[in-house]
Structure 1
Amino acid sequence: MENFNKFFKILLTNSQITLSRDLNLKEIRFIISKINEYFYTNYEGIGYTNILDDEFEYFSEFHKFWEKYHKEVLNPKIDEEKCEQVADVLHDVYKKFGKAPFCELYDTFSLKPKEICTIKYFSANQDFRGSRKFEDLFKKYSEDPSIFDKIKITSRGFPN
């Protein structure tokens, strides 16, 4: 519990909210439950998003938030000088090795871009640490595409 209290106090401090005591187990359970609900819980009527000319149901409230506000949250900045330096290096790689280093990042098992997008869409919320190997997921899809079929998933009662 000490680690969670430390984590939560950092969140509060950065939000300029104070908590003069440690949380008890019941409070920690409630907070974790609400965090989990926000990031991973789906419900009827949550809404839809469009990806590669296909419609998918949002998988959580966070998914809706991230779609709308990711640019503001990330606030990306482009350093033109560094971009040119990277472009020069990549150009040299292209001249020396051709397109192979850029096109063959991993074995896609000859899947189409739409199929790859579907796999990444349905596995993204499980891959928050980048620990999933895309090759494994692509292989599973090539063996049984129904695993990633939105109709079959929802007919089984998931992700609702």
Structure 2
Amino acid sequence: MHHQGEPFKPGTDPQAYLRRLQTWSRTTKGWLDIPYHYVIDLDGRMYEARNIDYAGDTNTEYDPGGHALIEVVGNFEEVEPNQAQLDAVVDLMAMLASKYKVSIDDIKSHRDHSDKTVCPGANLYRYVKEDYFRHKVALRLAGEQAR
């Protein structure tokens, strides 16, 4: 789990943001593509970014191989995630956990893998630290199995 680390104002075109991120990633960083596999906007819409078959990239030392990188737009050192974003994160994590047989114990954030970052920001990290995502994903997965 990652955050944009920059303000994302209502009305910002998420597709234009993704194009700028892709250009920056390729030209400035020399990366394959957008560093994240999925991006969630302010309305909770999910965008597939980098193909999940390719490891993501980060500006820190940890190896993101084998991880599905999810970015939620916004700077969560300054603002709170909204409910649409939180719900989308749960939906996406549940889908990935089911599809790839990922344990809910493996739901972590960027800062859980590196002490060189505050990503995903204190206001989003709280949901990781307090097991909100693990709990909601577990409930979702249990509901799927009950069907």
Structure showing greater radius of gyration is: 1
Does TM, scored on the shorter chain, surpass 0.5? no
Q: Normalized against structure 1, the TM-score is what? A: 0.24
* Structure number having the greater helix percentage: 1
Q: Normalized against structure 2, the TM-score is what? A: 0.26
